[in-house]
Homo-oligomer: A and B are copies of this chain.
Amino acid sequence: MTKTKDSKTEHIILDAAKRVFQNKGMDGARMQEIADEAQINKAMLHYYYRSKQLLFEAVFKNAFALLAPQLNSILNDKSSVEEKIRNFTANYISFISKHPYLPTFIIQELNRNPDFVLQMKGKKGFPNIEKFKKQIDVEIREGILKPIKAEQLFINIMALNIFPFVASPLIKAFVNIDDKAFKQLVEDRKTEVADFIINSIKA
């Protein structure tokens, strides 16, 4: 059994760091807490990841890499706009229900350090709107869709799908519901949101 480059410990650390950073953010997280979470000596964190900043970046990139393909599906898939919206909405909400921390974490940390996104932008697999733009224009010309800017539509799709997870404490308070009812509301959105969007843009 050859030793894998990523040691077991290294993985345990990343996993613990994920949990802590996702809950507390970069500023709120403590190296000792990550070590405790991993049931490991604090020095190991530095042994494998050198610094808090680098450990954080590993976690962030990991999280981003999980999210990006989701968005690419709506930007680059071959199906029609309507199909894409229906698929994306259902899939995305399922996906995030399994990782409810993800969008909040990414958005929070990107606001803390907007330059961070520039580092990602170059890499392949980074979501890009160009293909989607062309597709929208084609479907408008074909009379399938009402005129709308692809940028605005894309923002709307993102907003309707992501926002409820980012703002859940606020929504729960305003709508005056508990966790269970909120979960049901989100579940309903798997079709609600797609209908809402398509209603609006279909010619």
Check B155–A159 contact: CB distance below 8 A.
Answer: no
Please report the C-alpha to C-alpha distance between residue A28 and residue B28 in the assembled complex, in whole angstroms.
7
A167 at the interface (CB under 8 A from B): yes
Check B197–A128 contact: CB distance below 8 A.
Answer: no
Known: A128-B176, A159-B159. A169 touches B117 (CB 8 A): yes
Known: A112-B25, A199-B199. A174 touches B162 (CB 8 A): no
Check B155–A162 contact: CB distance below 8 A.
Answer: no
A69 at the interface (CB under 8 A from B): no
Check A169–B200 contact: CB distance below 8 A.
Answer: no
B residues less than 8 Å from A154 (CB atoms)? 174-175
Minimum CB distance partner of A154 in chain B: B175
Of A37-45, A135-143, A184-192, the one contacting chain B is A184-192
Please report the C-alpha to C-alpha distance between residue A56 and residue B149 in the assembled complex, in whole angstroms.
40
Check A117–B170 contact: CB distance below 8 A.
Answer: yes
A24 at the interface (CB under 8 A from B): yes
Check B173–A120 contact: CB distance below 8 A.
Answer: yes
Count of identical protomers in the assembly: 2
Q: Count of chain A residues with Cβ under 8 Å from any Cβ of B?
A: 60
Known: A28-B27, A200-B196. A117 touches B163 (CB 8 A): no
B residues less than 8 Å from A155 (CB atoms)? 163-164, 171, 175, 185, 189
A-B contact pairs, 27 of them (CB 8 A): A27-B27, A106-B170, A110-B167, A110-B170, A116-B169, A117-B169, A117-B173, A120-B173, A129-B174, A130-B176, A149-B192, A151-B177, A151-B185, A152-B196, A155-B163, A155-B171, A155-B185, A155-B189, A156-B193, A156-B196, A159-B164, A162-B163, A163-B163, A166-B166, A196-B200, A196-B201, A199-B201
